[in-house]
Every structure is written in structure tokens, then in C-alpha cells.
Chains A and B, each alone.
Chain A
Amino acid sequence: MLNASLKELSKQLAEKKLSSVELTSFFLQRIKTLNPDYNAFITTNEEMSLAQAVDADKMLAKGEGGPLTGIPIAQKDIFCAKGWLTTCGSKMLSNFISPYDAGVIERFNLAGAVNIGKTNMDEFAMGSSNETSYYGIVRNPWDTKAVPGGSSGGAACSVAARLAPAATGTDTGGSIRQPAALCGISGIKPTYGLVSRYGMIAFASSLDQAGPMAKSAEDLALLLNVMVGFDARDSTSLQRAQEDYTSSLEKPLSGLRIGLPKEYFAKGMSQDVENAIDKALAEYRKLGAETVEVALPNAPLSIPVYYVLAPAEASSNLSRFDGVRYGHRAESYSGLTDMYRKSRAEGFGPEVKRRILIGTYVLSHGYYDAYYIKAQKLRRLIAQDFAEAYQQCDVIMGPTTPTVAFNLGEKSADPIQMYLSDIYTSAANLTGMPAMSIPIGFGEKNRPVGLHIIGNYFKEAQLLNVAHQYQRVTDWHLKSAV
């Protein structure tokens, strides 16, 4: 059960060799035993998880199950789930039990999957190390002195430590791909608009996108099949024909053109990461792919652009947390303004406050054009760079992160250094393009290295095919930290 793929688990469930209650209990037990070491979960609820498992077994007994029926999934604590504490990693929501299900949760429920618990995350998804969570740090299963990455740090850890067969994450600037890379698992951020944002607590609305995190590309395909779909409650949700992301996994890669942006192979990448990337690229050439150099001249501006736009949207998105209707309210205050001030000062951590301040500043009268408008223009230029690159290649590859996982506490005092760990990933959010990370080996201190694969809009199936073909001939994704 520990290392089985979703396909194998699904087969065993369908053949009644295993029940969902057994499988769910197994992982609940592992969480109970190991979570104190990792702190990957903020909330578990045995009763609710097992109730879902019982329902799943009934579905399976009637032969009505689908590929994910009865499979436990770790849900990032950014998704509202009815009856579940939904904190978004913040003290602000430490008392918020959601009265409704997010679109993503609904789709998993409909598929008969089991919610095994809510995973730890950087507060309001703002962070790259999971150190901003109000609920404590999460440890990297490969090396407990290292960060798991963030913001979906608990999710990545839960899969890497085999506390759950698969997990959900969200990605605003790299929050699925960066922790996937640092924890040696696979993760994909789909094209913006494919997965419903309804009920997913907003960080930066124009950049946020949910996606799956799992052990392999094949698992990701099964998860995406459930997660992707139009939701009328999200005005940015896209209405498209349903795709089967598993259908082209086995396509050979001969003739695939891999674009290597020279900007991503310039300074900044550490040697151990570069070595692993080189080996992975050599593997791809063996699989029949060719590599071409492409240029993304504006891509290095992604971080500054991102750190104008994301805080701008966040500063407004987080205004609803005012202590009036739900969430944290200061115990004593004198008057309305004081209530706002104290409730928010107490409810938000320092990184969230920093971003609210930055965002408020860049939207302020007199600065809006210089920052927000300028950043939006650059965002378009970055997207144009990618469009031009895709004239010469099918997918773009590079490192997911400049270094392997850093140590806990190493960057938490220096926000700029922390922000730079998203240097390769944030462009995919700014452009809305799909991108993923897969494990391709180990670097310093035997910590995992991730390969970043970016595709053109709606090319998720192709990305998964490219990843799967690599995983067919390598076993990095099968290595277990535990």
C-alpha cells in the first residue's frame, strides 16, 4: 500500500482485495504515528474520513467506482471542505469550519475519493518553505533539517513521507512545483482556468491554480481527470471538452523538441542541480527528443513582476478577513478601527502583512501606473516570449528550483532570497501556461532535484506524456524517503 501507484490501488479496490476502509485506516494510522515528526497535516478527522471510505466501499461493491473511488487524498488546507476546519495556514482562520465545499473538493467527493486530512501550508499560500504557517514548520522527509518547500509543503511532504497516496496543491508562483521538486515527487500546475477556483481561498486570483501532487506522472493524469472541469461559479473557469489525461501517456517521444531557455541555464543554478538536469536531458535525447536553445529575454523579470501583481491582488483578497463575520477577532478593542487593527495584527503573520503592505503600496494613488500597470505590461511581454519560443519547440525544460532544499531557517530572515526560489516557476503563473516538476535525481546532501517542464496552453496531456516516458525508463520517482 505504501508505494503502490494509484492505478494499482484502484485495481486492488475494484477487485475487492482491499477495501477503502482498510486503505484509509492504514494511512490514518501512519499519519497518527508519523505526523508529529513531519507536521504535514493541520487537521485529520478519522470519523469523517472513514465515513467517506465506507461510502466508497458501497460504491465499489455496486461496481460503480471510478479510478479514484476509495483512494485517500490529502487536501491542502486552502480548499474549503464542508464540516472541516479550513485554516489556510493562518491564525486568522483558526476557528473557521467551512459550511461549504470547494469545487475541487466536490469533484473528489463525486469521484468517491476520501479526504484523508488537510495539509499544512504557508500562511495564505505566501511562502516557499512552509515556514510561514501558523501551525508550525513542516519537515522534508528526505532530510528533516531541510524545508519541504512551499506553499504546498504539507502536501509534498505527505506524499514523499507516504502519509497519503496523493495530494492536492495550489500554485500561485510555484507552490506545487517547488515543493514537489524539493520533496522528490511529481506535481503539475494546469493551465489557468482548467481547475475551479471556487472555494479555494484566494491569494492572487489571476495567478492561483490548483493541481495534483503525487508519486508519478501517471498518478497525476488520473488526478487531473477528476480535478479539471468547468465550474459556473468561477467566472475564470474554462468551458472545454473533457480530456482524458491518461490517453497519450504512452506516446513515444521521438521528434519531441525540447526548448532550453538560455536565461534558465545562466548564473543562479547550483552545480548539483545543473548536473542532474544535464543527465535528465541526456536521458530525453536517448528517448528520441532533440534539444534546442530558445530565448525568453523577459523571463528574468518574472520575479519582480510577480511580486508586484501577487501582493496587489492579495492585499485586496485578504481584506475580507476583518474579524466582523468569521475568523479571528481581537478579544478587546476600542471602536471599529481598533477592532480591525488588532484583529488583523493578531490574525496575520509577518509574511502576510509584508505582502499586504507591498500590495497596498503598489495600488496606491500615484504609484498604480508605475507598478501595477507596468507589471501588467511586462506580464504580456513574458507571455509573448513564450509564444515565440513555442514556434521552435514543443516543451520547455529547465530546473524547477535553483538549488536543492535549503535548511529550515536558512532563508526565513531574508525575504528576497526566499522569493528567488520561485525564479523559474512564476513565469508559468504569469502566462497561465501549464508546468510541472518531476524528480530526476539528487544533489547536495542527497536532497532531491526537480526537472521543470513547461508546455503551451492546454498541453497538460503532452507534459504528462513527456514526464511519463522519462519515468518509464528511470526510477527516481520510485525512490522513497521513508
Chain B
Amino acid sequence: MQWEIVIGLEVHTQLSTQSKIFSGASTAYGAAPNTQACEVDLALPGVLPVLNKGAVERAIKFGLSVNAKINSPSVFARKNYFYPDLPKGYQISQFELPIVQGGSICMQVNGVEKNIRLTRAHLEEDAGKSLHEDFHGMTGIDLNRAGTPLLEIVSEPDMRSSAEAVAYAKTLHTLVRWIGICDGNMQEGSFRCDANVSVRPAGTVKLGTRCEIKNLNSFRFLEKAIDFEAHRQIEILEEGGTIRQETRLYDANKDETRTMRTKEDANDYRYFPDPDLLPLEVSVEWIEQVKQTLPELPQARRDRYMVEFGLSTYDVSVLTASREMADYFDAAVKLLPTQAKLCANWIMGEISGRLNKENMEISTCPVKPDDLAALLIRISDGTTSGKAAKTIFESLWLGECGKNVDAIIEAKGLKQISDDCAIEKLVDDVLAANVQQVTDYRNGKEKAFNSLIGQIMKAAQGKANPMQVNTILKKKLTKK
């Protein structure tokens, strides 16, 4: 039987506020345990939460960027359960009325566009951390992370393969960083995915029983966990079994998912509106204000690049993989608007390659957009060749000659011979010295042409403009 895999994702994005969602303590990562937990985070008797407006603003920003509805009021609710790293014995989250409702995200999978609908996105606080090692057999609690603001973004079950799930997660990852609400650092847990996976016979409508796989903190694990889980479910069903609804954990070492808890032993969280926090009102003016701070979004940027510069879907998707990358392209292309494709090729080729090699981000690239533009201008006006440009790029990267392209060309003698007379002289000299080959060519031996080109370039020490050499040689050979 053919099976269809159905996937929905819940992504916890850590919002990039300086302080926590309900207290003034810092959210900075990596501090000594419990040094960033104030009395509110410790849930001392009598303390109360006060909502961080910055977190709300970021949620609104997200809502606007996915064309969702911003609910006003939205309501904070308490999710009650006991765990040592949950100091209050409840997590403040949003349940019935989340701040962001609906919306969608457009993504590309293998060059094909697909729209994924969002169910909702809600604000909540993170829990602390339990440290099970190095405490003489006891468990340590670090509450630095307790109260860190999260936006949980929940999709509809609109994905049909692990590749689609990864594409969606990557698009979302790009978006939250693009609009500046999350640093996207997956190692530090700023972007964590839970995947809801079910399977159904292809062509049927009714959803199968789903399993939720928790805490997938890399795109690779997301892909592998889904593949494993879908395979597991299909196997069970094909053997006539049934799927049990449960929460599962992905073990990266064994590349498998296993039961964490079943539906039967799931907590009754006893959600109810938090009486310490009033319903959250978001005025039309506030939404408008936030809208003004939104940058041009990835989708708009992609559309613009295609229309304005005629770039391919592929080029455009690479260039908009991050806002920094797109901004870099914008800054460079502004200086030579007619050479967008050349710009794109260099950014995706030379620059990306070099950054990868050095494990660097484009924001710290030593070759700035105007350096690149200066270099590309010298290629387009024929001053230097594409080949020599790679040497110049290397000099720019190393900061030689005050990062002045013309100075580098001068210093390294990378100027291209583009003067027709000079080239004609070179050609004439080579033709005069190779009468036999000229004859061969004229007798139909095409190969002789390339040999002649090689000799001319050699004579020019590689500096002659190849296009001009080509044209002039052809002209001379056909002219009798």
C-alpha cells in the first residue's frame, strides 16, 4: 500500500529580549547557574508576573510577517504541573486565546513553492534546567532559563515529507531571524522543534493517529526523526497493528524514536486564565507602530529580485537565505544595477565558498559589498579578467593595498589588455609564426583555432581580454 506521511510542527522560538517575559532578570546565555534568577523567577512567596512588552512586540512582528490575525485581547493561562525546574508549579502560557492566530508561510521544496498554514503562535515562559550530572547523585536546578520568553509557533498538518518539514523549519528559521525576533541559535536552544507525525493510506482524508516527537534541535535530526517515525508507523500498520498516541523522544545516537509518555499518563494541566495578568489588549495603533519597524520580508525580497533583476528561483532563494546575505546583495547590486547576475554569482560562489571554508558569517565578511562592487565593475568594463578577479578577491580578503581594487590590479599587474591595436599586434605576431596552423584551420581543422588562442594568450601572459582575442582572431582568419 502507498502511505502518505502527514507532519505538523510546533516550533519554540526564544524571543531576543534583554530581560525575561515576566521579570527583569537578564536572558543572556551561559551565565553561572542561578545568577540570572530574581525573586520572581524563583517563585518566592508573594511575587507577581509583569509582562515584558518587548516580547509582545516580537510576537506581533511575527504575526504581521505571516499575515496572521493579532488577537486582542489574548489571554495568559496557567499550565499546572509539578517539576523541579518549574518554580511556580505552573507555566504561564496562552491556551484558548493566543496572541497570533492563523497566517501562513510560503516555502520552496525542490524549486516548487508550497504554502504551509499556521494554526497559531502563542507567548509563554521557558522552564529552568535540571542538571542530572556532577551533583553527587542529586539533581541540580539552574533557573537562569526560567522565564525566558518563547513564541511557540504551531503549524497545521500541511507537510507531506521530512524534506518539506525541514524546508518549512528552515524557512521559519530564516524568517524569525530576518525580522529580528530570535537569534536562531539552535545549539543554545533558541529554536527547538517538536514534530507531530502520522501516516494514512495515500488518497484518504482522515488523519491517522499521531505521535509527537520532542525537542529536535537540528534540521538533520528533524529529518531523521521524521523518517524513522514514519517508517515505524507504516511498519506497525502494515502488520495490522494500530498506532498509540504518545509523545516520543528522538535518540540521535541510535537514530530512533522511543516512547516518552503515552496519552494515558499525560498530565491534566488544568489550564485556567492567570488571575495575576489581565487579558492582553493590543491596540490598532500598536500594531501599526510595529508594522513600521518590519523590514522587507523574504518573500517580497524574492519577488523583487526576480522581477527587477530577472534572477532565477534558485539564485533568489540562496540570496534570501538570510537577511544579512540579501542585504549584502542589495548593497553590492546598487553600485552596478545592470550586473545583478554577476553579483549573485560572486556572492553565491566565491564569497559563500570562502565564508564556509573559514566558518564565518556574511556579516563579518572582510570583503564588503562596495569592495565586491568595485571589483565587479572592473570585470564588466574589461579592466581585468574574471580569472584575475579571483586573485584580486583574495587580496581584498586579506586587506592588501588598502583594499583598493585599482591599486591591487596595478600592484599585481592584473590589468587586462583590452586595446584592440595591442591585441591585433599580438595576433598578427602569432599568426606569422604559425603559418601551418593557419592553413590547417582554413582547410577545416577547427582544432587549430584553440591552439592559436592558447599561443596568443601565452604571448599576452594571460592578460589579453579573451573575448577580444577571440573576435580579432576569427576576423583575421576568415579575412583573406
Q: Which residues of B contact A368 (CB under 8 A)?
A: 270-272
Task: Please choose the segment from A193-201, A279-287, A450-458 that sits at the chain B interface, where 4 or more of its residues have CB less than 8 A away.
Answer: A193-201
Residue of B nearest to A207 (CB): B275
Query: A344-364 CB contact bits vs B (8 Å, 1 = yes)?
Result: 000000000000000010011
Inter-chain contact B88/A319, CB cutoff 8 Å: yes
List A residues 322-339 near B (Cβ within 8 Å): 322, 324-326, 336
What's the dominant secondary structure at chain B's contact region? loop
- Across the interface, B80 reaches (CB within 8 A) one of A102, A204, A316, namely A316
User: How many chain B residues touch A (Cβ–Cβ < 8 Å)?
Assistant: 28
A415 within 8 A of B: no
Residue of B nearest to A372 (CB): B272
Inter-chain contact A326/B51, CB cutoff 8 Å: no
User: How many chain A residues touch B (Cβ–Cβ < 8 Å)?
Assistant: 44
Task: Please choose the segment from A107-115, A233-241, A386-394 that sits at the chain B interface, where 4 or more of its residues have CB less than 8 A away.
Answer: A233-241
B260 within 8 A of A: no
Query: B118-157 CB contact bits vs A (8 Å, 1 = yes)?
Result: 0000000000000000000000010000000000000000
Given A233-B48, A235-B49, A364-B268, A336:B78 Cβ within 8 A: no
Residue contacts A-B, CB under 8 angstroms, 24 given: A93-B45, A98-B44, A98-B45, A102-B46, A197-B48, A198-B48, A204-B275, A205-B275, A232-B50, A233-B50, A235-B277, A236-B276, A313-B275, A315-B270, A316-B90, A318-B89, A319-B82, A324-B84, A325-B141, A363-B80, A365-B268, A365-B270, A368-B270, A368-B271
Q: How far is the CA of A232 from the CA of B40 in the complex (A)?
A: 14
| Distance in Å: Cβ of B350 to nearest Cβ of chain A | 54
Q: Which residues of B contact A204 (CB under 8 A)?
A: 275
Q: Which residues of A contact B80 (CB under 8 A)?
A: 315-316, 319, 363
Q: Which residues of B contact A364 (CB under 8 A)?
A: 268, 270
Residue of B nearest to A102 (CB): B46
- Across the interface, A235 reaches (CB within 8 A) one of B51, B78, B268, namely B51
List B residues 39-78 near A (Cβ within 8 Å): 39, 42-51, 78
- Across the interface, B78 reaches (CB within 8 A) one of A80, A199, A316, A365, namely A316
Q: How far is the CA of A313 from the CA of B277 in the complex (A)?
A: 13
Inter-chain contact A363/B270, CB cutoff 8 Å: yes
Q: How far is the CA of A86 from the CA of B84 in the complex (A)?
A: 23
Inter-chain contact B275/A206, CB cutoff 8 Å: yes
- Across the interface, A198 reaches (CB within 8 A) one of B47, B84, B268, namely B47
Q: Which residues of A contact B275 (CB under 8 A)?
A: 204-206, 236, 313
Inter-chain contact B89/A319, CB cutoff 8 Å: yes
Q: How far is the CA of A365 from the CA of B49 in the complex (A)?
A: 26
Q: Which residues of B contact A235 (CB under 8 A)?
A: 48-51, 276-278
Residue of B nearest to A86 (CB): B45
Inter-chain contact A363/B272, CB cutoff 8 Å: yes
B98 within 8 A of A: no
| Distance in Å: Cβ of A229 to nearest Cβ of chain B | 15
Nearest first, the 10 A-B pairs at minimum CB distance are A319-B89, A205-B275, A206-B275, A363-B270, A199-B46, A320-B43, A201-B45, A80-B46, A201-B46, A365-B268
B87 within 8 A of A: yes
Residue of A nearest to B78 (CB): A316
A340 within 8 A of B: yes
Query: A291-317 CB contact bits vs B (8 Å, 1 = yes)?
Result: 000000000000000000000110110
List B residues 256-313 near A (Cβ within 8 Å): 268, 270-272, 275-278
Residue of B nearest to A337 (CB): B82
Q: Which residues of A contact B84 (CB under 8 A)?
A: 322, 324, 336
Inter-chain contact A316/B48, CB cutoff 8 Å: no
| Distance in Å: Cβ of A77 to nearest Cβ of chain B | 11
| Distance in Å: Cβ of A85 to nearest Cβ of chain B | 12
Q: Could you list which residues of chain A lie within 8 angstroms of chain B, going by C-beta atoms?
A: 79-80, 86, 88, 93, 96, 98-100, 102, 197-202, 204-206, 232-236, 312-313, 315-316, 318-322, 324-326, 336, 340, 360, 363-365, 368, 372
Tally A-B pairs: CB < 8 A. Answer: 96
- Across the interface, A325 reaches (CB within 8 A) one of B43, B78, B277, namely B43
Residue of A nearest to B34 (CB): A325
Q: Which residues of B contact A233 (CB under 8 A)?
A: 48, 50
Inter-chain contact A236/B278, CB cutoff 8 Å: yes
Residue of A nearest to B23 (CB): A233
Residue of B nearest to A231 (CB): B48
Q: Which residues of B contact A316 (CB under 8 A)?
A: 78, 80, 89-90, 270, 272
| Distance in Å: Cβ of B73 to nearest Cβ of chain A | 13
Inter-chain contact B48/A100, CB cutoff 8 Å: no
Q: Which residues of B contact A319 (CB under 8 A)?
A: 80, 82, 88-90
Q: How far is the CA of A415 from the CA of B42 in the complex (A)?
A: 34
Extra 9 A-B pairs, beta carbons < 8 Å, given A201-B46, A234-B50, A319-B89: A198-B46, A235-B50, A235-B278, A236-B278, A313-B275, A316-B80, A316-B90, A320-B43, A365-B270
Q: How far is the CA of A299 from the CA of B460 in the complex (A)?
A: 103
Q: How far is the CA of A482 from the CA of B84 in the complex (A)?
A: 50
Q: How far is the CA of A336 from the CA of B130 in the complex (A)?
A: 12
- Across the interface, B44 reaches (CB within 8 A) one of A79, A88, A326, namely A326
Q: Which residues of A contact B45 (CB under 8 A)?
A: 80, 86, 88, 93, 96, 98, 201, 320-321
- Across the interface, B89 reaches (CB within 8 A) one of A88, A102, A205, A322, namely A322
Residue of B nearest to A365 (CB): B268
Inter-chain contact A205/B268, CB cutoff 8 Å: no
| Distance in Å: Cβ of B131 to nearest Cβ of chain A | 14
Q: Which residues of B contact A234 (CB under 8 A)?
A: 48, 50
| Distance in Å: Cβ of B333 to nearest Cβ of chain A | 48
Q: How far is the CA of A322 from the CA of B268 in the complex (A)?
A: 18
Q: Which residues of A contact B51 (CB under 8 A)?
A: 235
